[in-house]
Structure 1
Amino acid sequence: MAADPLHNLDLNLLLSLDALLEERNVTRAAERLGLSQPAVSAALRRLRRHFGDELLVRTGNRYDLTPLATQLRGTTTTALAGVRRVFEAEPGFDPETSTREFTVVASDYSATVLGDHLATEVAREAPGVRLRFQLQTHADVDQAPESLRHVDGMVLPHGFVHEVPAVELHTDSWVLVVSADNDAVGDAVTMEELAEMPWVVTHHAPTAFTPAVRQLSMIGLDPDIHVVTESFLPVPFLVAGTPRVALLQRQLATRLAGAAGVRTLDCPWDVLPLKEAFWWHPSHRADPAHGWLRRMMARAAARLDQPH
């Protein structure tokens, strides 16, 4: 029987590896870990021997990651989160005394419109609990449910993840966003006008897309895409001062319109609503702390429907 590769490995090296890959500097990594610089240098030597790779290479007056180190950066963070989850497990859960950290994968849209309500609900019952919002990537979605094993859950609309449990959260609608000074567009816009306008879209890929933009193509209008962005927050700022148009969630557009200098318009087609849910791996089912988190997620989502 082959020996377990972890048998002779000090798992403290995972902490050092995570800090070194993030900081790309031994001194800063040592400060982050609360260790001496010689101790972290020794850890780097052990890691180099283990992987048979330099991991950090000097380029001028800075250090760059090797290709292997770049590959390890994402998996190290995920692995470290998994280790923390193992040692944070409790037979019971007392929110008043817990210091557990919950990791929620979310887009910048979800973190913006739902995150503050979730943080408020959590702080009310569990002052020592910490929330970590991890920016959602295409891989998180494409590799679910495997990616859900290493976090507490993911906020995502229906239609992307299947065969895992979910907590229904909230429904949002879509609006069009144009520059506040775009005099070529009145208080309403037609489908013909939209076909002629330059577009800003988000997540334009076969398995990563904005559902409302996909629907637009399905009803026969192929947007003239000029700008693609991998997040939602920049969208109104990429529209402001230009003839561009974009689709944005109403909750987010309402918050950003004034600061960005844009205005919103109703869609001239029957656009499908956005139904958000909190998706989680079945392995969390018996975890009382996770059950509490799911209740906090539902309570935070309910606040979105309350009048301000």
Structure 2
Amino acid sequence: MRFNRLDLNLLVALDALLTDCSITKAADRLNLSPSATSNALARLREYFDDDLLVQVGRRMEPTPRALGLHEAVRDVLVRVDSAIAIPPAFEPAKSDRVFRIFVSDYTQMVFVPHLMALAHAERCSARFEFLPQVSHPQRSLERGEADLLIIPRGFVSPDHPEEKLYLDDFTCVVWRHGALARGEFNLERYVAARHVVMRPPGSFGDSFEASFVKRHGIERQVAVTSYGFASLAPLVVGTDFVATVHKRLALKLLPSLPIALRAPPLPLPAMEQGLQWHKYRTQDPGLAWLRQLLHRAAAAMDAAMDTVPH
């Protein structure tokens, strides 16, 4: 099919080439030979009258024109996929679909098991692929690389629908046999302590709780940084460090680690965990089913939390 003399199949090739900046990798993504992919690039260069990809040292770099085209091409392909490629109905027990969800290791530990249990109960045959959150996960949503994001609502994109999934509080974790486990855990001791903190991978920003600590004018003395939430509590064991972590995660780790939980000596608000999807996929039957299942999983998690000693 052609539009304004452009073979529309070439848009798929252009998206792959600009995503990978490599003819070989794009060929693998497209299930084409490198020579066929190279030919597609030549035709694209002729149509757009631009090199699109140029060799810089050992790798290929997109030209300014290519950078301007990439988001527009991805937008077109996501629209086509959501309007044409998605089946009109979704039957979980008969589906071979792959759901790609961006989550933190915290979410995967405390929430995803409830989701998996419900999916299993419905005999769901679809596959779930949980992907690590890095900086700017919204870009993966825009490009159609993720079906859903599960992230704090303060970090969601304003350009796509989102809704609250669940709430979680924060708690401070210390070594059970350390000095911080004895006596009053007040703001003075919190500020004087050395901290174990999570720093989001590939980002220079702060995690949710870190941003609120800074708003109170507190500059924590950081002893250790980690790329994941689940490692924070184990890293305080044997030390007088403190970690400020999600309460659900801390309670899950409490039986297996020599740790103690202390209320934060500053008013940290509860975190609202959000659920976001691409605006073009609101009517996707599979995602509509999955969103409902996610909310049921959140309710199941809350019910289980009520039975855990705090």
Q: Distance in 2 between matches of 1:229 and 1:83?
A: 40
1:156 is matched with: 151
TM superposition shift of 1:262: 4.3
Take 1:243 and 1:84, find their aligned partners in 2: how far apart are those partners?
A: 53
Q: 1:256 maps to what in 2?
A: 253
Give the Cα separation in 1 of the matches to 2:249 and 2:218.
Answer: 24
Find the aligned partners of 2:241 and 2:255 in 1 and give their Cα distance: 17
Deviations 1:212-266 (A, max 9, x none): 222222223210112222221221232222222111111111222344x342333
Distance across 1 between alignment mates of 2:104 and 2:78? 19
Q: What SS does structure 1 have at the residue aligned with 2:167? A: strand
Are the equivalent residues in 1 in contact too, given 2:93–2:122 (CA < 8 A)? yes
Secondary structure of 1:185's partner? helix
Q: Which runs of 5+ in 2 are unaligned?
A: 10-29, 33-75
- Match 1:274 to one of 255, 271, 274: 271
Q: Tell me if 1:298 matches 2:295.
A: yes
- CA distance in structure 1 between the aligned counterparts of 2:77 and 2:160, rounded to whole angstroms: 23
Instruction: Give SS of 1:133's match.
Output: strand
| Alpha-carbon distance in structure 2 between the residues aligned to 1:150 and 1:278 | 16
Task: Please say if 1:289 is aligned against 2:289.
Answer: no
Equivalent in the alignment of 2:71: none
Deviation, 1:174, is: 0.5
Write the deviation string for residues 59-115 of structure 1: whole angstroms up to 9, x where unpaired.
xxxxxxxxxxxxxxxxxxxx9999987875101122221221111111111121111
- The residue identity in structure 1 corresponding to 2:170 is W
Q: Give the 3 Å change call, closer, same or farther, for CA 133–213 of structure 1 in structure 2.
A: same
Conservation of the 8 A alpha-carbon contact between 2:78 and 2:280: no
C-alpha distance 133-302 of structure 1, shift in aligned 2 (>3 A):
same
Q: Which amino acid aligns with 2:148?
A: G
- Which residue in 1 is equivalent to 2:162? 166
TM-score, normalised to structure 1, is 0.69
- Which deviates the most, 102-111 or 232-241? 232-241
Pairing of 1:203-214 with structure 2 (within 5 A): 203=200, 208-214=205-211
* Runs (5+) with no aligned partner, structure 1: 13-32, 36-78
Match of 1:193 among 178, 189, 202: 189
Distance 2:83 2:271 in 1: 34
Q: Which of 211, 215, 224 is the aligned partner of 1:218?
A: 215
Q: Which amino acid aligns with 2:118?
A: E
Distance 1:285 1:256, change over 3 A: same
After superposition, what is the alpha-carbon deviation per residue over 1:15-45, rounded to whole angstroms, capped at 9, x for unaligned?
xxxxxxxxxxxxxxxxxx999xxxxxxxxxx
Query: Which range moved further: 225-234 or 241-250?
Result: 225-234
Which one-letter code corresponds to 2:150 in the other structure? Answer: V
Q: Which amino acid aligns with 2:181?
A: G
% identical aligned pairs: 26
Which secondary structure state, in structure 2, belongs to the residue aligned with residue 171 of structure 1? strand
| Match of residue 107 from structure 1 | 104
C-alpha distance after superposition, 1:166-191 (max 9, x if no partner): 2321111111112x354211345111
Contact 1:201 1:246 in 2 (8 A): no
CA distance in 1, matches of 2:147, 2:201: 27
Match of 1:239 among 236, 239, 249: 236
Question: 1:175 is aligned with what amino acid?
Answer: T
Residue 202 of structure 1 deviates from its aligned partner by: 3.0
CA distance in 2 between counterparts of 1:241 and 1:80 reads 52
2:120 corresponds to: 123
Residue equivalent to 1:147: 142
Matches within 5 A, 1:14-25: none
Equivalent residue letter for 2:136: A
Q: Cα RMSD over matched residues?
A: 4.6
Match of 1:183 among 178, 186, 207: 178
The 8 Å contact of residues 100 and 131 in structure 2, kept in 1 or not, is answered as yes
Asked whether the 8 Å contact 2:78–2:144 carries over to 1, the reply is no
Asked whether 1:137 is paired with 2:158, we answer no
How far, CA to CA, are the matches of 2:200 and 2:144 in structure 1?
24
Q: 1:274 to 1:264 in 2, by over 3 A?
A: farther
Segment drifting more, 160-169 vs 89-98: 160-169
Q: Give the partner amino acid of 1:292.
A: W
